[in-house]
Structure 1
Amino acid sequence: MFKFLFRTRHPGKVDIADILSWAWLFFGTTMVAIPIAWAILSSFKTEAEVNSFPPSLVPKAAETIELEGQSKPLSVWEWHKEGEESMRVALIRRIGIKATVVDIKNPEQTYQVPISEITQVKGVHFEWKNYTDPLKQFDFVTYIKNTVFVTFVATILTLVLNSMAAFALSKYRFRGKNAIFMLILSTLMLPLSVIMVPAFIVVVGLNLADNLWGVIFATVATPTGVFMLRQYMLTIPDDLIEAARVDAASEFRIYWRVVLPLCAPAIAVLAIFSVIWRWNDFLWPLIVLSSPENYTLQIGLNTFQGQFSVQWHYILAMTVIALLPVTVVFLLLQKYITQGVASSGVK
């Protein structure tokens, strides 16, 4: 691995191009990794620590202690007395710029000290409740199940329908083929805001409003998938298809047993894109779905954002969970990305 990462253009010799390449790759990786690492670490912070300033990288929480005579645990603070050694005290109450503290070693002794002289003591603490509470209290398990269902079914239908359309546009000869292909590509220029209302009217007409199938059916046909698979299928020799026809293979058998296996890299790339699109989709499910039991994960995350407060500790924790499936799919299929994308543009 070390040899692979630090290989040079000329074996045994390092020039300025190698140094610049390493510096650029390190910079780019750092810029991508820092927000992800920050989100993961912040997902283990308490609500108070997430909203604290200045922010800290490592999850921390205020240390508390139970003292005799006190009805509840008190937070621990460091009292920096001028000209003397600092001592640890427990905060009883705070009024304005004055605080009432008690000596931890001698709980009977209390002091009135300025707030500027005490500093709260914090220790490393991972708040696992950020992950467990939403799953128990906010039906996030249901949201995850709905999202998995929508993503899986929509991805399967996307691969089947787009590959069929690409097969017809790449291997059949009929009048208007190029016009149909250009019409499909032209839909790439239409933003969702343009087709949102007509698509919703169709969903309502099919009685699929507030239904997961209404979310699925409107998104399975993608011009990007048709274009990618068509360009890849153009690289498959027509002689293979003619040979299959000579052997009395049906058109569906040719499509299923000959063309699809040869398009595995492009299929894998489209599968990755489809999983990312469906898993992260927010606007269309928000329009179609209205019942909480039908919410997908992205709409469920929006429930933590209220009018007066935002529960960032829950949002960050559930966002990390939402990242895991997409990351796993990418890691499993990443070897096909370069090959699939590169070959899709070769005729």
Structure 2
Amino acid sequence: MIAFLTRTRHPGRFDLSDWLAWGWAILGTLVVAIPIAWAVISSLKTEAEINSFPPALVPRAAQTITVEGQAKPLSVWIRTAPDGSEQTVALVRRVGLSATVLDPTKPEETFRVPVAELRQLKEFHLQFSNYTEPMKQFNFLRYLWNTVFVTVVATILTLLLNSMAAFALSKYRFAGRNAMFALILSTMMIPLSVIMVPAFMVIVGLNLADNLWGVILSTVSTPTGVFLLRQYMLTIPDDLIEAARVDAASEFRIYRRIVLPLCAPALAVLAIFSVIWRWNDFLWPLIVLSSPENYTLQIGLSALQGQFNVQWHYILAMTVVTLLPVTVVFLFLQKYITEGVASSGVK
């Protein structure tokens, strides 16, 4: 790994192209990584800390102290008097530009000071309840299970149906094959907004409205998957398939035992795409599903955004949760991406 990272165009010395390549790689990494890192860090902040300005890099929370005679812990502040002296006080209440505070050593005496003289004390704090509370309040475990079910089942059906169509379009000779392939590719230019109403009417006619299967079955056939797999299957020698037919192998056996194993890199690429598409899909599940118990994660996240209040601490935490499965799938299958995409364009 070190040898690969330190490899230069000319052995033993760096030239301008090496510095430009390093600079571009570092810039691209920062552009992608900084927003993700900020979301992860902010997901561990309190709601008040997220809304504070200027924002802090490290998650913090206000220091509190339990004072005799007070029903709940009070936040700790530093008061800077006009003469420059500092005093540690606990905030009882704040009204406008004036605050009522007390000395923790003399809890029976309260006095009023201008807010401008106060500076809040904060300490490092990780708010893990941002991850646990939505699970209780909004049933996110149910949303997570629905999303996993839709993603896994839709991905399996996508790989199966698209590979069958690609096998027929690449290895069988029949009239209208190229026209059919062109028709499939032309559907890539049709946005969802155009077919949204007729597609929903079909789902209603099949009695699949407000059903996870209505989300799954309408998205399993994709022109991108057919194109990717067909182009990859064109690289498989026809002589190999003819030899299997001579040995009396059935067409399904040729497809299952020869074609699918050889297309593993392309299938892995399509699996990654399918997982990302299904996991992040928002519009179509929003149209099909109406019962909260059938919601997916993306619809569940929208429930945290009200008309007058946005619970950013919960939204960020659940966004991080939704990123984890896709990241894990990508890490396990990333080695197939370059090989699968590159080979799919070679005839």
Q: TM-score, normalised by structure 1?
A: 0.98
Deviation at 1:60, TM superposition (A): 1.1
Structure 2 equivalent of residue 28 of structure 1: 28
Structure 1 equivalent of residue 244 of structure 2: 244
Alignment map for 1:119-268 (pairs within 5 Å): 119-268=119-268
Deviation at 1:84, TM superposition (A): 3.3
Structure 2 equivalent of residue 14 of structure 1: 14
1:114 maps to a residue whose letter is P
Deviation at 1:4, TM superposition (A): 2.5
Give the secondary-structure state (helix, strand or coil) at the position aligned to 2:331: helix
Deviation at 1:58, TM superposition (A): 1.4
Structure 1 equivalent of residue 60 of structure 2: 60
Give the secondary-structure state (helix, strand or coil) at the position aligned to 2:310: coil
Give CA-to-partner distance per residue, 1:80-117, whole Å, 9 cap, x none. 22443422211112222121211223334433221111
Give the secondary-structure state (helix, strand or coil) at the position aligned to 1:75: strand
Deviation at 1:295, TM superposition (A): 0.7
1:102 maps to a residue whose letter is L
Structure 2 equivalent of residue 37 of structure 1: 37
Is 1:107 matched up with 2:114?
no
Task: State the distance in 2 between where 1:106 and 1:19 align.
Answer: 64
Aligned residue pairs: how many? 347
Task: State the distance in 1 between where 2:20 and 2:43 align.
Answer: 35
Deviation at 1:7, TM superposition (A): 2.0
Give the secondary-structure state (helix, strand or coil) at the position aligned to 2:271: helix
Higher deviation after alignment, 242-251 or 75-84:
75-84
Structure 2 equivalent of residue 317 of structure 1: 317
2:269 maps to a residue whose letter is V
1:229 maps to a residue whose letter is L
Higher deviation after alignment, 288-297 or 68-77:
68-77
Task: State the distance in 1 between where 2:98 and 2:72 align.
Answer: 21
Task: State the distance in 2 between where 1:92 and 1:139 align.
Answer: 36
Task: State the distance in 2 between where 1:335 and 1:140 align.
Answer: 32
Task: State the distance in 1 between where 2:227 and 2:267 align.
Answer: 12
Task: State the distance in 2 between where 1:82 and 1:259 align.
Answer: 82
Give the secondary-structure state (helix, strand or coil) at the position aligned to 1:67: coil
- For structure 2, which runs of at least 5 residues remain unmatched after alignment? none
Structure 2 equivalent of residue 297 of structure 1: 297
Task: State the distance in 2 between where 1:325 and 1:129 align.
Answer: 21
Higher deviation after alignment, 55-64 or 262-271:
55-64
Give CA-to-partner distance per residue, 1:214-241, whole Å, 9 cap, x none. 0000000000000000000001111100
Higher deviation after alignment, 75-84 or 250-259:
75-84
Task: State the distance in 1 between where 2:119 and 2:40 align.
Answer: 27
Give CA-to-partner distance per residue, 1:47-106, whole Å, 9 cap, x none. 111112211121111111111222221111111224434222111122221212112233
Task: State the distance in 1 between where 2:79 and 2:25 align.
Answer: 46
User: Alpha carbons of 1:223 and 1:117: their partners in 2 closer, same or farther (altered >3 Å)?
Assistant: same
Task: State the distance in 2 between where 1:196 and 1:82 align.
Answer: 66
Is 1:92 matched up with 2:99?
no
Q: TM-score, normalised by structure 2?
A: 0.98
Task: State the distance in 2 between where 1:330 and 1:48 align.
Answer: 34
1:169 maps to a residue whose letter is L
Task: State the distance in 2 between where 1:307 and 1:6 align.
Answer: 53
Give the secondary-structure state (helix, strand or coil) at the position aligned to 1:204: helix
Runs of 4+ residues deviating >4 angstroms: none
Higher deviation after alignment, 83-92 or 273-282:
83-92
Structure 2 equivalent of residue 270 of structure 1: 270
2:337 maps to a residue whose letter is I
Task: State the distance in 2 between where 1:93 and 1:236 align.
Answer: 76
Task: State the distance in 2 between where 1:80 and 1:22 align.
Answer: 49
| RMSD value, Cα | 1.1
Deviation at 1:22, TM superposition (A): 0.8
1:288 maps to a residue whose letter is V
Structure 2 equivalent of residue 341 of structure 1: 341
- For structure 1, which runs of at least 5 residues remain unmatched after alignment? none
2:321 maps to a residue whose letter is I
Give the secondary-structure state (helix, strand or coil) at the position aligned to 2:102: strand
Give the secondary-structure state (helix, strand or coil) at the position aligned to 2:88: strand
1:223 maps to a residue whose letter is P
Give the secondary-structure state (helix, strand or coil) at the position aligned to 1:208: coil
Give CA-to-partner distance per residue, 1:142-168, whole Å, 9 cap, x none. 111111110000000000000000000
Deviation at 1:6, TM superposition (A): 2.5
Give CA-to-partner distance per residue, 1:252-309, whole Å, 9 cap, x none. 1111100110000000000000000000100000000011111111111111111111
Task: State the distance in 2 between where 1:286 and 1:275 align.
Answer: 18
Give the secondary-structure state (helix, strand or coil) at the position aligned to 2:107: coil
